[in-house]
Amino acid sequence: MTPNRAAFRSEQCCRRYLERYEERARRWPVPYTTEMIDTPFGQTFVRVSGPSSGSPMVVVHGASANSLIWSHCVARLSERYRVFAPDNIFDFGRSVCTQFPDTIDELCAWLDGVLEGLHLAKGVHLAGHSYGGWLSSRYAARCPDRLQTLTLIAPVHTLAPFSIQWISHAALVRIPLKALHTHLYFWLLEDFAKSSREAHDEVNDWSEDVWLASHTFTPRHYVPPTLVDDEELRKIRVPTLLVMGEHEKTCDPRKVLRRWREVMPLAETEMIPAAGHDIILGQADALDARWLRFLDAHDIRH
């Protein structure tokens, strides 16, 4: 698969990043195939796991990440579901971006193009984590006819604003010091990092991944997330599950759940204990169990 060398600062940067990426990809816990999907914004790399007969599930990762962030969740999900995990076109990974989306409408057009290219016309279980949760919520309000369900996992700046603590920590990493960058990741993923020596090392690995990516790729362009108003939330017409960690640091998780229940009284919610923004890493088993109960209850093939 030919990488987009124009996305990197140099040929050497391209090699360094892709060697690291492929080493991480070898840790994906289940067999997978890959596809490159043409969209108006370039080619999107998609990692595909699970039985071909399973209902389709598309999982959208957060910012400064790639599809490999789902490695803790995919084994259980792919037992029954066909899991499609794209590398976001505008982010670090193997997708080849030729034009960055500039608005939320263009972001949704990109995601819609991915589903179209995967021949997923309807019946999709869509899920997103962090920035991917914000994007998934906006897509679901615009294209509900494609979806069976929507799962939002710690969506950022979607139902409640960023916390002051997150803003101050994020501002610090604008200073190009690796120690500040590493500190941000251990603060954000604190529950997981403190759970074991192996988890501590894995958080360090993810931090190293992002540090390397940010110094090998040319600058990425993100559409800033904006709070979703009540009117748009009510356009989401599919069964929906919102999952937050009790120690979420990007926002106040209790405010998020309270607003969700007020605006979407029929939607489901879950607060996961001993977790923050690291739910998909440190509490993947609890998340998968709750997630699968929700999916199985609403899947047309069950």
Q: What is the CATH number of the domain that holds 139?
A: 3.40.50.1820
pLDDT for position 301: 75
Q: How far apart are CA 285 and CA 125, in angstroms?
A: 19
Beta carbons within 8 Å of 59's beta carbon, 6+ residues apart: 67, 70, 73, 77, 83, 84, 85, 127, 128, 129, 132
Reading the chain (302 residues) residue by residue, the pLDDT tens digits are 555 677 999 999 999 999 999 999 999 999 999 999 999 999 999 999 999 999 999 999 999 999 999 999 999 999 999 999 999 999 999 999 999 999 999 999 999 999 999 999 899 999 999 999 999 999 999 999 999 999 999 999 999 999 999 999 999 888 889 999 999 999 999 999 999 999 999 999 999 999 999 999 999 999 999 999 999 999 999 999 999 999 999 999 999 999 999 999 889 999 999 999 999 999 999 999 999 999 999 998 76
Domain count, the chain: 1
Closest CA to 36 of 95, 102, 98, 105: 95
In this structure, what are the phi and psi dihedrals at residue 118, rounded to the nearest 5 degrees? -85, 0
pLDDT digits 0-9 by tens, 279-288: 999 999 999 9
Q: Which helix (H) or strand (E) holds 128?
A: strand 124-129
Token digits for 279? 């739910």
pLDDT for position 51: 97
In this structure, what are the phi and psi dihedrals at residue 99, rounded to the nearest 5 degrees? -155, 120
Residues of the chain with pLDDT > 70, as a percent, come to 98
Closest CA to 58 of 49, 42, 99: 49
For residues 125 and 101, is the Cβ–Cβ distance under 8 A?
Answer: no
For residues 238 and 286, is the Cβ–Cβ distance under 8 A?
Answer: no
Q: How far apart are CA 92 and CA 122, in angstroms?
A: 28
For residues 165 and 190, is the Cβ–Cβ distance under 8 A?
Answer: no
Range of the domain at 209: 5-298
Beta carbons within 8 Å of 52's beta carbon, 6+ residues apart: 82
3 state DSSP class of 49: strand
Beta strands in 166-294 (DSSP E): 240-245, 268-272
For residues 288 and 73, is the Cβ–Cβ distance under 8 A?
Answer: yes
The residue type found at 237 is R
Residue 4, Cα to own-chain centre: how many angstroms?
A: 22
| DSSP-assigned states of every residue in 208-222 | HHHHHHHHHBPPP--
Q: Is the pTM of this model over 0.75?
A: yes
